[in-house]
Structure 1
């Protein structure tokens, strides 16, 4: 079993001489059961579809063959998906791919300093020829440094979220935020990106004898990753699950 079997890149590809040729990576996604049900970020799907239409490509999930046991990568075309209610940056999809996933959903209490981890595929992760494709994932492990609530948002609406002690590279949007546990890791969120804030700590204005002004500004810059909390969506019943809740889909 390979990590790419259940945490995978989402890409644009073209069929060239009957073979799938990856054009670029867009983001990451992950399976929450062994029946082809996966989660990713809403903006990853939106970006993939927009770029695929503009560049005459297809949107695909880059998986492992033989139900996740083969070293060879295979590409499954994205067909059916559905977006979570606003303001969640989360999307669900279902494909005809059956592979055991070591990720599941669970009712876990999360507080600041909770140890968490994630892994996914930065945009530059792909290398090698189509015949010897290499996809090099990136892993993070640290802690939740702040619990974000909708009232904490200043620029855009947000749902309950986790502020992370590490940055998320472009391409890790859609990857799982999980707590390590046996026999399966518990997914508590979907990574949606990194954010930056600036605070003016000090500002000095000097006017020269000739009237020219020189301003010196000292900024405090903070950067952090953010994952949207998946736990409030456990009762969500997407149409593509035919009346089954998100949580029950993992059982």
Structure 2
């Protein structure tokens, strides 16, 4: 068995400037497992523990929403056995942690094409959503069989259908109107995007939503990403000036 070493959290965070929405690209599970001469699936297993840890800590800090990139539309290119294992992880995750998430008022949601997952996986996720629907703490959203380009295309199709049927005019199509057709329409804007493992790319994740988010690329492999690294990322966020295209006075 491998145990994570508990590290001291020593970042002095400004509790009046906590990002409302943090998005995570959970990268490095396979490399973490390889370093330990274990199969890639073991890294995914350990990575689910990190989701639980960060969700509880983000909730405690007052973060309103946390979105994790669980499975992309491109991940079907991976080995079939790995894909099959990933589809089993929601059952494992919610069997272990749903009660604890419920006790902490966390609400579960998803974005993506859940209908492409096995029926059992769909049921597990939908049951978790139903059980937590009345919770009012952190909104934990799983981007599952999700792709940013696909989301934008689907939103565009919806809007084109509205225009074709005469329900809207071209002048009605604004940024706000477009955002209301995205899968994240009920979530606050993403303030902070964190990618683990040192890779510096978006990998087709929340392409519209990340337009003015702050990015933090952390060298830590996802299974080792703990409360300290979360605090570190928020500290970096708090040290930046967010101008949204303007100039601070």
- TM interval, short-chain normalised: under 0.3
Greater strand share, structure number? 1
Larger Rg: 1
Q: TM-score, normalised by structure 2?
A: 0.25
Structure possessing the higher relative contact order (Cα contacts under 8 Å, 6 or more residues apart) = 2
Greater helix share, structure number? 2
Q: TM-score, normalised by structure 1?
A: 0.25
